Amino acid sequence: MNSWTRRRLRSRWTWIGLGVAAVASVQLYAWYQFRSGRSALAADRPDVAHRHFERSRAIWPWGNRVDVQLLSSRAAWQSGDRTLAMAELREARRAAGSTTPELAFEWALLQAVDGNVSDVAEYLQQKADADPGVQRTVWEALTEGYLAVYRANDAFTIAQQWVSSYPDDLRALELRGQAAIQGRGRGLAIGADDLREVLKREPTRTKARAILSVTLLDLGLFDEAIPELERLAQDQPDQPDHRVRLARCLKMTNHPDEAVKLLDAVLASNPDHGLALRARGQFALSDLRLVEAETWLRRAAEVLPNDYQTQYLLYQALQQAGHTAEATEQLKRSETVKQQSTQLADLRTKRLAERPLDPALYTEMGSLLVKTGNTEQGLRWLDVALSLDPGFRPAHEALAAHFETVGNAERAAFHRQQLARLR
């Protein structure tokens, strides 16, 4: 073999070696992203985990790995994006070619989170009892699902079991606090204590801080709420609700000028922000600036037609300004909104807790939510009613009427067909 031939062979093997190394390095990077995603998921950082899984899935052949897709779906719902989670779960089903036990488990978790808890609770609890490694995930899905359908007592029971088993798990403590707060009454103070402890041990939990800040306002603890809202406004400058609540606290703690400046800044960039308009009108009304109050509250009432406090404040402004006839009509409007709000509150805090498997209550809740403009949430409640009883006529009637109203003939026809079969 002459020297020229040897050089060519060495060059060929060098290029082959470089190619193998390049492929290996790409796969190692994908594996690193996958492992990092799993670590972030275990550390209760689902948004970070999802980004790692996305990077891993972008590298062939990892994009077709079902285990990556399943964990990516879990990270999505734990981050609050149930729509993305379902899309990724469907991708995993297509990639697997059939329904595997792992797919069935992840599907059940997502069903629970979406509020269809009754369909999957027994199965998921059995999985948790049999495998301690999935207990945390199961209990999180069940707690979130119960919270989604306002079954606060059930949510608190699951979260309490979780806290008892894993007392250092901050996610368990956070969700127990949310469940206590959703139960209202004495639960507000109990839940606030849980969230204070969570933030003491991990100050970066923004969602816990946001829920705590609202709870502190409900408890009238305005001085304590101020630093929480200041930090939220700093951490989430694109969320004007924090600054509106901060303005309320400033007003209640005798800093009215600062409060008005803060609201004006919110309205300068968000002129149709309903809560800011309402607060601006409420401040003017409390200072007896009636013309100004009426102007702000009329705008607020247009933006928040189903908010009782807004509608009643407008009635007060009209009444105090001497617009008696218009005030009378506005009072009727506010009483209608109040009745709807009271009905929703009664469902959430009492009747659903007493009859958690009654499709009639889910239909009533769903219909009310659709009527008051919370369409997506209302449709979910109507779907839950049908998961409890696929032949429940009032739910099919409500869905058919809604889809006819919005011009979705196909979905309306489906529910009309179901009604015809039930005759």
Rounded Cα gap, residues 236 and 234, in angstroms: 6
In this prediction, residue 236 carries a pLDDT of 94
In this prediction, residue 8 carries a pLDDT of 54
In this prediction, residue 23 carries a pLDDT of 45
In this prediction, residue 407 carries a pLDDT of 92
Rounded Cα gap, residues 227 and 42, in angstroms: 30
CA 365 to chain centre: 18
Task: Establish whether the linkage from the previous residue to 132 is cis, with ω within 30° of 0.
Answer: no
Element holding 147 (H helix, E strand)? helix 135-148
In this prediction, residue 309 carries a pLDDT of 95
What is the reported pTM?
0.82
Rounded Cα gap, residues 26 and 24, in angstroms: 5
In this prediction, residue 353 carries a pLDDT of 76
Rounded Cα gap, residues 226 and 382, in angstroms: 39
**Domains identified in the chain and CATH numbers:** 357-423 (1.25.40.10)
Which residue ranges in the chain fall short of pLDDT 70?
A: 1-27, 60-64
In this prediction, residue 46 carries a pLDDT of 87
76 closest CA partner among 37, 27, 115: 37
User: CB–CB of 183/153 below 8 Å?
Assistant: yes
In this prediction, residue 137 carries a pLDDT of 93
Phi-psi region of 131 (alpha: psi -120 to 50; beta: other; left: phi over 0): beta
215 closest CA partner among 196, 236, 240: 196
DSSP one-letter string for 331-364: HHHHHHHHHHHHHHHHIIIIIHHH-TT-HHHHHH
